[in-house]
């Protein structure tokens, strides 16, 4: 344990105020994630848009007494706290953890590369957990913030550490190297993904290699030519650089792969190592898994593990849950199923995700024993109990002998109902679905407890066509647009039409959590649904109908007023309800000619708005007709100028500040001068932008997938589907898939216009699309099998492509996916 004085010494900061000894065990960066106030050290990070120093006051009141700051603070307000002053808080975080790292003299494995980092890390953990007490990065914590949080977990009982490092631009790896200081390096591979910040692939490789400057050994695959060249020249230049341990399928290497053979559900891999022929078998058949397993194999050989031990453990490798999924459950519950592994780090992350869910009052956790934590059970479950308390958990179902023995820790918590079972079977025998109603349930267990069986009982059986929504990608897209905004420009997120087809409260929850300023929906009903699901932030309603006015008043929604008629009616309603200063938004028509006041309405509008204090104008706005189109830039400018004039006049007469906004997604990047006080982000947040360079910075959010229900072999002359619109010209194989126009897969895709992805290959839609299914030609994909996953759109088959095929736009395709297609949300 550290204290403020020892940390200050390490940071060479200035101890502004010291109030005595208090132990520091936790680093807190996000004020919303406070769990252990007494032992937390808050480090407020500062970015162009957010300065976390503003949370010091709140945290002090919640009992935090250790702070690192880079700005003056009114010390007299916080007499019981220690303050360390530094120049830059992010830099201080890095230095602090680098110093912490130096206290340990154990092997540390550092992993970087384009793909596979997390899997290699998790597999190494599976392969080595019997031999060492291991500390590792939670999930994919590999960024400038994720790495320090990971390395900070190192404790004296650990015997091996495994951390991953990822970078997005030059200059970042130097910091991560100091923090991880790996003794053993693994460079997984190099791909083109996320190259944006780099000039070229070599620059990217060389930057990543910095991680291994001081390592003893570097494990890598020679078959990536650019990687091999860069590694060799790095090796030659560095006098004290790492030794190399290479593997290859093609040329001479330390571990030379001579054969890989795919069996039914396994791959068998043969290699020569130090003149001997060795062999492993893994329970996977895809290329990525084979490569990841060979990295792990090389590492185990380097560590001197016995070949028969390696063989035995490789055969038992299991799938890694890369993400937290939120699914619809029985009796109106929502279920987060994370039943693959369990340790304190991943439990903290999962509870955090659970806490973000506001849709149900009751939060339930089903939890197993935590194995091999390196702590005594008493301490461990005391900590778990603390976590549950801090995250406001209402119900605990604990399964396992150890956790049951520590009952008392949980029973002391006020407001927590707890139940204990010795085994998963015991729980399943007594399971009664009616015990779960309107709650959000986290299912989290160690692998041996097989909690996937519990997940199955709780999840609603889904029709096999699903739309997957990547919540992490939405957050990253929002952050990307935020990074392009002027510091004081606010962000309104458009969640109309079920968040462009991707959900409702699930997305709004996330946006609320990320501190977006405003939400906008099309109709009052949508707003009401969000309020019911616990969304408290301001919500603008763009199409307020008189019939919905009382709902607007009751649920505190804020209408867009676009004509004198609707303005007068709404004023009357507010008056009758005896309210005043009711927040509204004024829509101006600057050229779209859809809704809005025009120039000649302005004098009367001002007269009405200033005649009393019934309404309070929150914002005045307009909508651009063609912001994405360079050919219409002059028109966009003209709209901008007109908006400027009209809004200026309004603002002047109102005598108080109103928020002005006109930009949609495309305008944020194409017309930054129009960002004004707020922007309205829509399609971009869902991962789509019409400009190529911007598109390259966004992450794919939605994946629509289905499955093959039947394969058929057809002779030439046989036909497929209604109206016999497709005829086999050669012996053919067709696949019937479970998606049709009732799911939103429109008939336009029929007759070879549309295609879907099966095992990475495109298969055309043949004949007409039926209501619930359609047929694909898979003659050229002999490996296709019944039950196979079929991607309708996603990362490798963009929605834009479908829009082109159907002569439509991505907006229409996304919002057209019908509600019978279950949405599955996940967080990486
Ligand atoms: C839908 C909508 C937006 C968002 O547009 P995108 O092109 O999706 O960014 C902005 N403003 C208004 C008024 C809208 O209706």
Tokens representing residue 547 in the block: 């019939």
pLDDT tens digits, one per residue of 596-653: 999 999 999 999 999 989 999 999 999 999 999 999 999 999 999 999 999 999 999 9
Higher pLDDT, 768 or 325: 768
Ligand 1 atom nearest the C-alpha of 621 is: 13
- The gap between the terminal CA atoms of the chain, to the nearest Å, is 31
Check if 204 has its Cβ closer than 6 Å to any atom of ligand 1: no
DSSP characters for 325-343? Answer: EEEEBGGG-EEEEE-S---
* Sheet-wide strand order for 134-136: 134-136, 160-164, 108-112, 184-187, 217-221, 243-248, 255-262, 267-273, 276-282
Domain-embedded: residue 98 = no
Counting the structural domains of the chain, the total is: 5
Give the Å distance between the CA of 662 and the centre of ligand 1.
10
Check if 52 has its Cβ closer than 6 Å to any atom of ligand 1: no
Question: Is the predicted pLDDT of residue 194 greater than 60, yes or no?
Answer: no
Higher pLDDT, 332 or 340: 332
Give the Å distance between the CA of 194 and the centre of ligand 1.
28
3-state SS, residue 516:
coil
The CATH number of the domain holding residue 640 is: 3.20.20.10
Is 222 a catalytic site residue? no
Check if 623 has its Cβ closer than 6 Å to any atom of ligand 1: yes
Mean pLDDT of the chain: 93
Give the Å distance between the CA of 811 and the centre of ligand 1.
10
- Are residues 597 and 629 both part of a single domain? yes
- Are residues 299 and 232 both part of a single domain? yes
Determine which of 109-113, 244-248, 689-693 has the lowest per-residue pLDDT on average. 689-693
- Are residues 288 and 257 both part of a single domain? yes
Q: What mean pLDDT do residues 336-350 have?
A: 84
Name the percent of the chain lying above pLDDT 70. Answer: 99
- Are residues 285 and 147 both part of a single domain? yes
Q: List the residue whose alpha carbon is closest to atom 6 of ligand 1.
A: 682
521, containing H or E segment: strand 518-521
pLDDT tens digits, one per residue of 709-727: 999 999 999 999 999 999 9
Q: How far apart are CA 709 and CA 3, in angstroms?
A: 62
Q: How far apart are CA 410 and CA 380, in angstroms?
A: 12
pLDDT at 192: 63
Q: What mean pLDDT do residues 410-434 have?
A: 93
pLDDT tens digits, one per residue of 387-414: 999 899 999 999 999 999 999 999 999 9
Domain boundary among 440, 458, 476: 458
- Are residues 709 and 795 both part of a single domain? yes
Task: Provide, for the chain, the percentages of residues in helix, strand and coil under a 3-state DSSP scheme, each rounded to the nearest 5.
Answer: 35, 25, 40
Report which listed range, 17-26, 46-55, 171-180, 264-273, is most confident.
Answer: 171-180
67, containing H or E segment: strand 66-69
Q: List the residue whose alpha carbon is closest to atom 13 of ligand 1.
A: 623
For the annotated binding site for substrate, the residues are: 594, 771
Ligand 1 atom nearest the C-alpha of 681 is: 9
Beta carbons of 506 and 469 less than 8 angstroms apart? yes
Give the Å distance between the CA of 664 and the centre of ligand 1.
5
In Å, what is the CA distance from 803 to each residue of 199, 495, 749? 32, 21, 10
Q: Which residue has the tokens 């995700």?
A: 353
Domain-embedded: residue 463 = no
Q: How far apart are CA 691 and CA 686, in angstroms?
A: 14
Check if 664 has its Cβ closer than 6 Å to any atom of ligand 1: yes
Q: Which residues of 662-696 are buried (b: 16+ CB within 10 A; e: fewer)?
A: bbbbbbbbbbeebbbbbbbbbbbbbbbbbeeebee
- Are residues 809 and 778 both part of a single domain? yes
Give the Å distance between the CA of 295 and the centre of ligand 1.
47
Check if 665 has its Cβ closer than 6 Å to any atom of ligand 1: yes
Higher pLDDT, 237 or 325: 237
Closest CA to 297 of 282, 275, 276: 282
Pocket test for ligand 1, best of 682, 701, 811, 814 (most atoms within 8 A of CB): 682
- Confidence band, pLDDT 50/70/90 cuts, at residue 245: very high
Per annotation, catalytic residue among 496, 587, 705, 755: 496
Check if 680 has its Cβ closer than 6 Å to any atom of ligand 1: yes
How would you class 1 by CB atoms within 10 Å of its CB: exposed for 0-12, middle for 13-18, buried for 19 or more?
exposed
Tokens representing residue 204 in the block: 């990217």
Check if 690 has its Cβ closer than 6 Å to any atom of ligand 1: no
Ligand 1 atom nearest the C-alpha of 522 is: 15
Q: How far apart are CA 148 and CA 430, in angstroms?
A: 44
Q: How many CB atoms neighbour CB 185 within 10 A?
A: 28
Domain-embedded: residue 770 = yes
Pocket test for ligand 1, best of 494, 588, 661, 688 (most atoms within 8 A of CB): 494
Give the Å distance between the CA of 587 and the centre of ligand 1.
13
pLDDT at 47: 86
Q: 560-564, long-range: CB within 8 Å, 24+ apart, which pairs?
A: 560/584, 560/585, 560/586, 560/587, 560/595, 561/585, 561/586, 561/587, 562/586, 562/587, 562/589, 562/595, 562/596, 562/597, 563/595, 563/596, 563/597, 564/597, 564/601, 564/604, 564/605, 564/608
Give the Å distance between the CA of 800 and the centre of ligand 1.
18
Beta carbons of 402 and 423 less than 8 angstroms apart? no
DSSP H helices, 287-423, are 287-302, 307-314, 344-356, 377-390, 401-405, 407-411
Ligand 1 atom nearest the C-alpha of 811 is: 8
Check if 100 has its Cβ closer than 6 Å to any atom of ligand 1: no
Domain-embedded: residue 97 = no
Give the Å distance between the CA of 682 and the centre of ligand 1.
5
Question: Is the predicted pLDDT of residue 339 greater than 90, yes or no?
Answer: no
pLDDT at 486: 92
- Are residues 248 and 330 both part of a single domain? no
- Are residues 421 and 480 both part of a single domain? no
Q: What mean pLDDT do residues 35-41 have?
A: 90
Pocket test for ligand 1, best of 478, 526, 680 (most atoms within 8 A of CB): 680
Beta carbons of 518 and 540 less than 8 angstroms apart? yes
Check if 682 has its Cβ closer than 6 Å to any atom of ligand 1: yes
Ligand 1 atom nearest the C-alpha of 627 is: 7
Question: Is the predicted pLDDT of residue 741 greater than 70, yes or no?
Answer: yes
pLDDT at 803: 97
Residues in the chain: 828
The CATH number of the domain holding residue 251 is: 3.40.1190.10
Point out which residues pair with 397 in neighbouring strands.
Answer: 366, 419
Is 745 a catalytic site residue? no
- Are residues 446 and 550 both part of a single domain? no
In Å, what is the CA distance from 325 to each residue of 65, 335, 353, 512? 36, 8, 10, 19
Check if 700 has its Cβ closer than 6 Å to any atom of ligand 1: no
Pocket test for ligand 1, best of 497, 588, 623, 811 (most atoms within 8 A of CB): 623
Point out which residues pair with 328 in neighbouring strands.
Answer: 334
Q: How far apart are CA 106 and CA 149, in angstroms?
A: 18
3-state SS, residue 713:
strand
Q: Pseudo-torsion of CA 540, 546, 550, 551, nearest 10°?
A: -50
pLDDT at 196: 64
- E-strand ranges in 639-701 read 659-663, 678-681
Longest dimension (CA), the chain: 93
Q: Which residues of 716-731 are buried (b: 16+ CB within 10 A; e: fewer)?
A: eeeebbeeeebebeee
Domain-embedded: residue 287 = yes
Q: What mean pLDDT do residues 692-705 have?
A: 94
Point out which residues pair with 761 in neighbouring strands.
Answer: 758
Closest CA to 308 of 336, 279, 282: 279
Beta carbons of 315 and 281 less than 8 angstroms apart? yes
Ligand 1 atom nearest the C-alpha of 683 is: 8
Check if 670 has its Cβ closer than 6 Å to any atom of ligand 1: no
DSSP characters for 451-496? Answer: THHHHHHHBPPPPS-EEEEEHHHHHHHHHHHHHHS-TT-EEEEE-H
Tokens representing residue 711 in the block: 């394969």
Give the Å distance between the CA of 637 and the centre of ligand 1.
18
In Å, what is the CA distance from 794 to each residue of 118, 146, 477, 758, 760? 22, 27, 16, 12, 12
For the annotated binding site, the residues are: 594, 771
- Are residues 117 and 134 both part of a single domain? yes
The CATH number of the domain holding residue 801 is: 2.40.37.10
Tokens representing residue 615 in the block: 């309404």
Check if 494 has its Cβ closer than 6 Å to any atom of ligand 1: yes
- Are residues 540 and 664 both part of a single domain? yes
- Are residues 486 and 562 both part of a single domain? yes
Beta carbons of 582 and 538 less than 8 angstroms apart? no
Per annotation, catalytic residue among 62, 401, 407, 722: 722
Closest CA to 696 of 190, 194, 191: 194
In Å, what is the CA distance from 400 to each residue of 369, 407, 421, 423, 633? 5, 11, 6, 5, 65
Contacts of 241 (CB under 8 A, 6+ apart): 212, 213, 215, 234, 235
Domain containing residue 58: 4-91
Give the Å distance between the CA of 656 and the centre of ligand 1.
26
Check if 585 has its Cβ closer than 6 Å to any atom of ligand 1: no
Contacts of 474 (CB under 8 A, 6+ apart): 502, 507, 510, 685, 686, 687, 701
Check if 477 has its Cβ closer than 6 Å to any atom of ligand 1: no
In Å, what is the CA distance from 579 to each residue of 206, 572, 701, 781? 64, 10, 41, 66
Domain-embedded: residue 570 = yes
670, containing H or E segment: helix 665-670
Ligand 1 atom nearest the C-alpha of 500 is: 8
Check if 683 has its Cβ closer than 6 Å to any atom of ligand 1: yes
- Confidence band, pLDDT 50/70/90 cuts, at residue 356: confident
Ligand 1 atom nearest the C-alpha of 628 is: 7
pLDDT at 319: 79
Domain-embedded: residue 96 = no
pLDDT tens digits, one per residue of 525-554: 999 999 988 899 999 999 999 999 999 999
Domain boundary among 458, 478, 512: 458
Give the Å distance between the CA of 624 and the centre of ligand 1.
9
CA atoms within 13 A on the CB side of 486: 12
pTM for the predicted model, two decimal places: 0.77
Q: Which residue has the tokens 């891999």?
A: 269
pLDDT tens digits, one per residue of 799-812: 999 999 999 999 99
3-state SS, residue 84:
strand
Check if 37 has its Cβ closer than 6 Å to any atom of ligand 1: no
Tokens representing residue 57 in the block: 């006051």
The CATH number of the domain holding residue 415 is: 3.90.190.20
Ligand 1 atom nearest the C-alpha of 665 is: 9
The CATH number of the domain holding residue 85 is: 3.40.1390.10
Q: How far apart are CA 296 and CA 289, in angstroms?
A: 11
Radius of gyration of the chain (CA): 29
Closest CA to 184 of 157, 168, 153, 163: 163
- Confidence band, pLDDT 50/70/90 cuts, at residue 193: low
In Å, what is the CA distance from 617 to each residue of 555, 657, 660, 827? 18, 9, 11, 37
Domain-embedded: residue 319 = no
Contacts of 801 (CB under 8 A, 6+ apart): 793
Domain boundary among 677, 695, 713: 695
For Cα atoms 311, 312, 316, give the angle at the middle one, nearest 5 degrees.
110
């Amino acid at each position: 344990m550290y204290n403020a004085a020892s940390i200050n010494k390490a940071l060479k900061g200035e101890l502004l105020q010291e109030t005595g000894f208090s132990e520091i065990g936790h680093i807190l960066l996000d004020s919303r994630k406070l769990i252990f106030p007494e032992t937390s050290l808050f480090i407020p990070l500062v970015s162009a848009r957010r300065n976390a120093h503003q949370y010091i006051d709140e945290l002090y009141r919640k009992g935090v007494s250790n702070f690192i700051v880079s700005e003056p603070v009114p010390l007299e307000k916080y007499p019981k706290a220690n303050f360390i002053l530094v120049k830059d808080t992010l830099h201080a975080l890095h230095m602090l953890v680098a110093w912490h790292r130096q206290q340990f003299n154990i092997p540390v494995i550092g992993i970087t590369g384009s793909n596979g980092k997390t899997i290699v890390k998790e597999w190494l953990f599976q392969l080595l957990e019997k031999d060492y007490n291991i500390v590792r990065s939670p999930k994919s914590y590999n960024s400038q913030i994720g790495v320090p949080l990971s390395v900070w977990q190192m404790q004296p009982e650990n015997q091996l550490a495994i951390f991953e490092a990822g970078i997005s631009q030059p200059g970042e790896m130097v910091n991560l190297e100091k923090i991880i200081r790996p003794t053993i390096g693994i460079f997984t591979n190099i791909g083109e993904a996320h190259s944006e910040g780099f000039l070229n692939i070599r620059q990217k490789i060389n930057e990543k290699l910095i991680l291994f400057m001081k390592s003893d050994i570097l494990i890598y695959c020679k078959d990536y030519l650019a990687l091999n060249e860069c590694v060799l020249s790095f090796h030659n230049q560095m006098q004290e650089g790492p030794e190399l341990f290479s593997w290859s399928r093609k040329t001479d290497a330390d571990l030379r792969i001579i054969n890989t053979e795919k069996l039914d559900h396994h791959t068998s891999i043969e290699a020569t190592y130090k003149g001997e022929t060795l062999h492993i078998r893994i329970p996977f058949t895809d290329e990525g898994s084979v490569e990841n397993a060979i990295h792990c194999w090389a590492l185990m050989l380097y560590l001197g593990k016995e070949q028969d031990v390696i063989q035995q453990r490789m055969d038992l490798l299991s799938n890694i849950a890369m993400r937290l999924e939120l699914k619809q459950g029985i009796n109106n519950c929502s279920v987060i199923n994370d039943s693959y592994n369990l340790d304190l780090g991943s439990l903290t992350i999962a509870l955090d995700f659970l806490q973000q869910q506001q849709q149900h009052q009751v939060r339930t956790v089903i939890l197993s024993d935590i194995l091999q934590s390196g702590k005594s059970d008493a301490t461990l479950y005391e900590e778990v109990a603390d976590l549950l308390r801090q995250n406001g958990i209402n119900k605990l179902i604990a399964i396992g002998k150890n956790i049951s023995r520590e009952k008392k820790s949980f029973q002391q918590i006020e407001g927590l109902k707890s139940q204990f079972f010795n085994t998963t079977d015991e729980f399943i025998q007594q399971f009664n679905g009616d015990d779960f109603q309107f709650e959000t349930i986290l299912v989290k267990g160690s692998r041996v407890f097989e909690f996937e069986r519990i997940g199955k009982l709780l999840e609603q059986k889904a029709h096999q066509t699903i739309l997957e929504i990547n919540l992490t990608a939405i957050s990253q897209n929002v952050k990307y647009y935020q990074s392009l905004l002027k510091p004081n420009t606010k962000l309104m997120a458009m969640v109309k039409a079920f968040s462009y087809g991707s959900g409702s409260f699930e997305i709004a929850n996330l946006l609320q959590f990320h501190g977006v300023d405003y939400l906008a929906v099309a109709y009052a009903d949508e707003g009401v649904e969000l309020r019911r699901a616990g969304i408290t932030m301001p919500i603008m309603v763009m199409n307020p109908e008189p019939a919905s006015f009382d709902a607007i008043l009751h649920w505190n929604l804020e209408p867009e007023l676009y004509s004198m008629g609707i303005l007068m009616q709404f004023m009357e309603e507010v008056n009758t309800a005896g309210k005043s200063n009711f927040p509204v938004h004024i829509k101006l028509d600057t050229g779209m000619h859809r809704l809005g006041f025009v120039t000649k309405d302005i004098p009367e509008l001002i007269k009405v708005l200033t005649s009393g204090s019934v309404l309070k104008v929150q914002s005045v706005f307009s909508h651009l007709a063609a912001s994405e189109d360079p050919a219409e830039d002059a028109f966009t400018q003209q709209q901008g100028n007109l908006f400027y004039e009209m809004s200026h006049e309004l603002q002047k007469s109102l005598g108080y500040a109103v928020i002005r906004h006109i930009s949609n997604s495309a305008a944020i990047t194409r017309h930054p001068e129009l960002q004004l006080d707020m922007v309205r982000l829509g399609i971009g947040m869902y991962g789509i932008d019409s400009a190529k360079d911007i598109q390259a910075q966004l992450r794919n959010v939605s994946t629509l997938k289905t499955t093959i229900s039947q394969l058929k072999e057809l002779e030439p002359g046989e036909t497929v589907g209604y109206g016999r619109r497709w005829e086999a010209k050669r012996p053919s194989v067709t696949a019937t898939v479970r998606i049709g126009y009732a799911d939103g897969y429109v008939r336009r895709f029929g007759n070879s216009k549309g295609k879907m992805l099966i095992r990475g290959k495109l298969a055309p839609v043949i004949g007409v699309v039926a209501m619930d299914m359609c047929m694909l030609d898979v003659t050229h994909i002999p490996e296709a099998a019944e039950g196979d996953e079929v991607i309708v759109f996603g990362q490798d088959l963009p929605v834009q492509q479908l829009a082109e095929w159907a002569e439509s736009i991505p907006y229409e395709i996304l919002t057209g996916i019908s509600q019978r297609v279950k949405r599955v949300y996940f967080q990486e």
